[in-house]
Amino acid sequence: MYCLVRGGALVWRFWVSEGFWPPAEVFSKGGNGGCGLVRRGHWPRLGPCLFVMNKPLLRVSEVACARGGLTVLEGISFDVHAGTALILRGPNGSGKTTLLRTLAGLQTAVAGEVSVADETIAYAGHADGLKGTLTVAENLSFWASLFGFGAITPALGAFELSGLADRAAQSLSAGQKRRLGLARMLVTGRPVWLLDEPTVSLDVSAVALFGEAVKRHLAGGGVAVIATHIDLGIEAEVLDLSAFRAVAPRGGAFDEAFI
Amino acid sequence: MKGLLQRDLRLAIRAGGGFGLALAFFLIVVILVPFGVGPSADVLAPIAPGVLWLGALLACLLSLDRIFATDYEDGSLEFLATAPVPLEGVVAVKALAHWLTTGLPLTLAAPVFGVFLNLPSGGYGWLVASLALGTPALSMIGAFGAALTVGLKRGGLLLSLLVLPLYIPTLIFGADTVRRGVDGLEAGTSLILMTGITLGTLALLPFAGAAALRVNLR
């Protein structure tokens, strides 16, 4: 997120979908008095979304969500402001994935409202979305082109995949595949990251790499909602979902009628 | 969108992508028919238009379940659904990629296969024209069926049962075009009717397919 500053007052914050994240030299951040826009070699392409400052990037109010027709979570409310992260915790089956999928818009909330600007969400689920017969670079380039993002080299570098760029994805180890799946988040250029158990099959150093990537994302004004049980070394609020478990799962009576 | 098309074509051509499978299947069907009904030109010539169209249609069916199933299994479909491209466009592009890797090669190879079946000379132009205008409908209807059955166990079998009845109008008018061409009759009407069906499916089914995908991703 970058701020356009005129006469000391912040006019707009917005996203830049060009180059690696965050290209600090493109814009100076607010508070330097004059116009905060610093031109680099060429004008960066502006992302599709504009934000006025202080509005939370993601607002969840009284949301209830269901899995397999049963309401598993209800009454969830939180705001995630630019530059902050939210860690979701809870035992297996407590609805972390369901909540993240609801936030991503893959399924609709049973009740309540998820407010998030259009086309700001990047979601990474359990699967990495890789094609085994394509190379690492081809896999990443595809997603980069789909999201209108140019360079993949910084994303490869951030997850130490540069040496593997020409390898077929099917010959990667599980941890390397996961790193490639996470590198995909960097080429989306999107501010709201929703990550579902991102550290599965990652080793200690790869978890550290991922923590650094999230920190850089947050420092650039992005937000992240992460379902994980591992300490990523980032300062974040923790939301324990077991407190929001639906008291009486609706739909139970319906099922019983068929038994 | 261009990136998606490139990726799908690349995947189809790489090892295990199934490119050429449809063509080989078509070839085998066309070769088996003379073994079944006898090599006599009098028997083969009248049934050639129907057999060629049926062969092309069944060959098209072979690779349909791959349109969305692989993307669903590896999670790509969820990413595509949250990407800045409309899901309707994704369905249309996937159908286009399927047509480029099956329908188009089938159309180009059909005249050669026509010789195997002793197709009379008047039919070749109509055969290529009808396949060129009819096979896009096969791919589009197939993509819709694949979107409906994505995520189901053994969905490929169900897909065939769903899609084959929807292929009937295209088959009727496609084969009729060639038959009339062979007999020297006016074949344009059938061709136009079939093209109408193709245009209708191209206009409507991307939306239906996208709606089916949204339900299946839930």
Determine the average pLDDT of the residues in A33-38.
34
Query: Residue B36: what are its φ and ψ, rounded to 5°?
Result: -80, -45
CB contact under 8 A, B79 and A129: yes
Candidates B11, B81, B218; nearest CB to A131:
B11
A131 at interface of B, judged by CB pairs closer than 8 A: yes
Candidates A129, A146, A147; nearest CB to B75:
A129
Chain A residue with CA closest to B71: the answer is: A129
Min distance B168 CA to chain A CA atoms (Å): 35
Residue A27 has pLDDT above 60, yes or no: no
Q: End-to-end alpha-carbon separation of chain A, Å?
A: 53
Residue A20 has pLDDT above 70, yes or no: no
pLDDT digits (tens, 9 = 90+) for A151-168: 888 888 888 888 888 888
Taking CA atoms, A55 is separated from A1, A35, A61, B52, in Å, by 13, 22, 14, 63
Domain count, chain B: 1
Contact A124, A187 (CB under 8 A): no
Structural domain boundaries enclosing B139: 2-217
Min distance B5 CA to chain A CA atoms (Å): 10
pLDDT digits (tens, 9 = 90+) for B154-196: 888 899 999 999 999 999 999 999 999 998 888 889 999 999 9
Candidates B15, B73, B83; nearest CB to A133:
B15
Which residues of chain B are under the pLDDT cut of 70? Answer: 15-17
Residue A124 β-bridge partners: A195
Both tokens of B198, joined, read: 């193709």
For B11-142, list the strands marked E by DSSP. Answer: none
Instruction: Report ipTM for this prediction.
Output: 0.81
Q: Is the four-CA dihedral B14, A133, B136, B168 of positive or negative sign? A: positive
Candidates B14, B73, B83; nearest CB to A133:
B14
pLDDT at B152: 85
Alpha carbon distance B21, B4 (integer Å) = 22
CB contact under 8 A, A106 and B10: no
CB contact under 8 A, A125 and B75: yes
- Determine which of B4, B6, B7, B85 to mutate to test the interface with A (most A C-beta atoms within 10 Å): B7
Chain A residue with CA closest to B213: the answer is: A106
Q: What is the pTM of this model?
A: 0.81
Alpha carbon distance B41, B117 (integer Å) = 8
More confident residue, B215 or A8: B215
Calculate the average pLDDT of chain B.
90
